[in-house]
Amino acid sequence: MPARILIAKPGLDGHDRGAKVVARALRDAGFEVVFTGIRQRVEDIVAIALQEDVAVVGLSILSGAHLALTGRTVEALRAADAADMTVIVGGTIPAADVPRLREAGAAAVFPTGTALDDLVAEVRALTAAPPATTG
């Protein structure tokens, strides 16, 4: 069964072309993708993630509010007892903010210009089932 991924556009950012390209690339790679549309509240993103039982919450942020929105999303997932959902972030992200996003709870960060093949490979690695143990 393919991993389910939510691609969300939090905040007031009204540009969704990049998010749609990422959603299509992930879908074409065999993932099941849910797209929220633009201008979503963090609370709504978390509610959709829970309802859709996704493995990954992907935030597409071009507004410059990536640090605040990522932190709020991770905290809201924890508060909803969904800390096991992986959060990834993409968009207009300065290199200096990548470590800060990881500290905030992002498992992967994809700045504008990341090759789609690299993004797909990273998401595959993040959603791979752990190897079975024999005992």
pLDDT at 68 over 70: yes
The fraction of the chain above a pLDDT of 70, given in percent, is 95
The fraction of the chain above a pLDDT of 90, given in percent, is 88
Angle, vertex CA 89, rays to CA 69 and CA 2, nearest 5? 125
pLDDT at 39 over 70: yes
Q: What is the pTM of this model?
A: 0.93
DSSP letter, residue 58:
E
pLDDT at 129 over 90: no
CA-based radius of gyration for the chain? 14
Q: What is the DSSP string of 35-57?
A: E--SSB-HHHHHHHHHHHT-SEE
pLDDT at 75 over 60: yes
